[in-house]
Structure 1
Amino acid sequence: MQAAHISKQHLVSQVLLRQFTMLGPKGSGWQLQPFDVCNPERRLKLKGPGACGAAKDFVAFDSASAEELWGSVETRVPAALAAVQACTPFSDPVHVEVLRDLIVLHYVRSHRYRGVYSNAFETVRVNVRSELIRQYPEDVRRAALRQTGFHLPGSGSLGSFAERLIEQSEVTQDFGTGKLFRTSIENMFNKVRAMASKWQLEVLTPENGQFLIGDSPAVTVRTDSMPFSYNMAFGDAHAIVLPIGPRHLLALGPKNLLGTIPQALVDEANTVQILAADRYAYMHPRSGLETFARAKARQRHADRASR
């Protein structure tokens, strides 16, 4: 019997979001502060982690398969986080493996990856249409004659029928149902996991201040200039960063490291989270980061408006 489809899917693990919470007023439970990076003047109410960092039908086909894969990582995270909080993340190689996988999971299970995937599919689709017309015009005409009984008179009708053939293809049908995306994201997770195994783990704490977390929180960065550039290809990055709480940031880098970073780099890490977010950032209710987040979100809006 096939497992039921899960519509509400967390892209930011609840185990991470819980690190940014505090106990709210009586009966309200553990809450964190959402911030709308697209509407920086909007004031949002505190919410529980279950109401944050999720997307509807992110994996629309056989979501149980993907959830099982994500769960193979997330169920092991609490012990690894406890080791981080005890300043002993390298005491057990299993903790390092889990934390590295946690970064990979959030890098792949993200709004950014779905956008890259969709854009790549559309590019291939356009290229296939052009190649069909350029290399196999007579085959397309014969297929049109078989299906419609009409001879295609010109290049315009040839292109339209080539598009129809593409729409009828199995791969396009699988794209439409989401089957192709589910297969793609699972394969990408395993591919990036293998690549990340060659990187080391850095566990960083702030000298001052706190980290916040965006809704696309595992971000590739280059650190050879300020401000950091971000969202480049995995192989072109100097590090892949992931906040795991107000006082801890993970990074895949060149060596294992347990260290602290100055306020300027904390601000830079938080800026990257806001600029790379799809819609929301999340912070501890007493972090004091709302004014900072608002300024960076305004900068993000101005930068995008000027393009």
Structure 2
Amino acid sequence: MPAPSRPIVSPLTIEEISQRIEKLRPEKDSHIANQHVVSRAILRKFSTKIKSQINLIKFNLRYSNFSLKGTQGCGRVRDYARFASASLERKWNLIENRISPSLKSIEEGSALSSAATLADLREIVVLHYVRSKRTYEIHQRSRLKHLGHAAELYGEALQHPEELFRMFYKRFGFYAAGPEAIFKMLDQMIYSQTPDLESGAVFRVMVEDHYDKVRSIVEDWGVQILYASDGELLIGDNPALSIRRSEDPASPPMQVPIGEAEIVFMPISPKHLLCLGGQTESGDLDANSIFESNQLQLLYAHSEAYFRPESGLEDFALRFCQHTARSPEFQQGAHRDS
């Protein structure tokens, strides 16, 4: 499948990031602790009413165990965005409020005939692509790399202590009393340059900007609604996957940055797979396609997957974990986060 067209987007400059942080700073303490990375409206589609309660199966991939949970206890991250998160949640809610009507349109068969619904479906996928555990982990790796680089520079400086004492005098106007004062100065120098990284302010700005840019990339992409007639889909806690087929037919599709992806797909119910890329159309998923979707959801999940209690997918999930598909060696070849 040829890759869909996409506009060229530029990253934020350091000055732009700083300006946006200052604009948000008055609301920095306006915080919502529990933030879903898989919308509850989506999770409800994977749920079943059991003894007057709506539950789904939560599968922990790290420990290969199952539990019956309500949607409130699934697909969420505590303190996902720690800085001015309330305004970000309000922005996400504008999209989440359109999920149920969009899913209803799909079930009624009218989604593809409405430009507004197609736009909403793109937004739903983009929201789950950006507001994800994967996005957070990539940012955390970048943060640690930044701090590690700073610490490395100061580690080199420690090889020349006389330079550090001169630096201390130049900075404070008096001589350091001893090594403890020098180390305190180094701590201040490292972390004074990165308070907005540590507070979550940079992540808050970057994740919103990332969302806006991905929206612009996919705004003209085709929307495919595929129906699983023979089997059921599950959904992982990184549900919207941007993939490209590997050159090696024996290897699974790779998760790649959206600018390199052939398609972005996301299960939105046990029976419906939503895809961005290609032509706008509906179609059916055969058993092999259902298997591949479920396999990729488990492969690229952070730690959890969810499915309908009566789906019979427990054996599939356990068999998957019994193999080495999620071993570090495998993921090193299958993941591309750059």
For this structure pair, what is the TM-score category when the shorter chain's length is used for normalisation? Answer: 0.7 to 0.9
Amino acid at match of 2:302: D
Superposed counterparts of 1:129-144, under 5 Å: 143-144=167-168
Q: Which residue of 2 aligns with 1:285?
A: 309
Pick closer, same or farther for the CA change 1:255–1:277 going to 2, 3 Å: same
State yes or no: 1:67 paired with 2:89: yes
Q: Residue 211 of structure 1: CA displacement? A: 0.4
- Cα distance in 1 between the residues matched to 2:255 and 2:326: 19
Quote the offset at 1:235 in angstroms.
1.4
Q: Which amino acid aligns with 1:147?
A: F
Residue in structure 2 matched with residue 117 of structure 1 by the alignment = 139
1:167-186 CA-partner distances (Å, limit 9, x unpaired):
112xx111111122111111
Residues 13-40 of structure 1: CA distance to partner in whole angstroms, max 9, x if unpaired? 0000000111111x3x211111111111
1:300 positional shift: 4.6
Distance of aligned partners of 1:119 and 1:4 in 2 relative to their CA distance in 1, 3 Å threshold: closer
Provide closer, same or farther for how the CA distance between residues 141 and 79 of structure 1 changes in structure 2, counting only shifts above 3 A. farther
Residue 260 of structure 1 pairs with residue 288 of structure 2: no
Equivalent position of 1:168 in the other structure: 192
CA distance in 2, matches of 1:226, 1:220: 19
**Structure 1 length-normalised TM:** 0.86
Counterpart CA distance in 1 for 2:184 and 2:217 is 41
* Residue 254 of structure 2 is aligned to residue 230 of structure 1: yes
Q: Distance in 1 between matches of 2:97 and 2:266?
A: 18
Separation of aligned partners in 1, 2:214 and 2:204? 15
Contact 1:133 1:158 survives alignment (8 Å): no
- 2:66 is equivalent to residue 43 of structure 1: yes
Helix, strand or coil at the partner of 2:141: helix
- Which letter maps to 1:209? G
What value does the CA root-mean-square deviation take over the aligned residues? 3.1
Shift in CA distance, 125/183, structure 1 to aligned 2, threshold 3 Å = same
CA contact (8 A) 1:133 1:140 kept: no
Alignment of 1:13-162 (within 5 A): 13-25=39-51, 27=52, 29-40=53-64, 42-44=65-67, 46-127=68-149, 143-145=167-169, 146-147=171-172, 149-150=174-175
Q: What is aligned with 2:270?
A: 246
**Residue ranges of structure 1 left out of the alignment (5+ in a row):** 152-156
Task: Give yes or no for contact 1:140–1:161 (8 Å, CA) kept in 2.
Answer: no
Runs (5+) with no aligned partner, structure 2 = 1-25, 333-338
Q: CA deviation at 1:72?
A: 1.3
Query: Which deviates more from structure 2 when the two are superposed, residues 242-251 or residues 48-57?
Result: 48-57
Residues 129/47 of structure 1: CA separation in 2 closer, same or farther (3 Å cut): closer
CA contact (8 A) 1:104 1:189 kept: yes
Structure 1 pair 148–70 and aligned structure 2 pair: CA distance change class (3 A): farther
Percent of aligned positions with the same letter in both sequences? 29
Deviation at 1:257, TM superposition (A): 1.9
Superimposed CA distance per residue, residues 196-242 of structure 1 (whole angstroms, 9 cap, x where no aligned partner)? 21322111112310100011111111235455323211112111111
Quick one: distance in 2 between partners of 1:142 and 1:103? 55
Letter in 2 for 1:33: I
Q: Is the 8 A contact 2:224 2:282 kept in 1?
A: yes
**What is the letter of the counterpart of residue 52 of structure 1?**
C
- TM-score by length of structure 2 reads 0.78
Q: Which one is further off, 99-108 or 1-10?
A: 1-10
Counterpart CA distance in 2 for 1:69 and 1:269 is 29
Superposed displacement of residue 50, structure 1: 1.3
Task: Say if 1:296 and 1:164 are closer, same or farther in 2 by CA, change over 3 A.
Answer: same
Matched residues, number: 298
* CA displacement 1:84-108 (0-9 Å, x = unmatched): 1112211211111111111111111
Equivalent position amino acid for 2:115 in 1? P
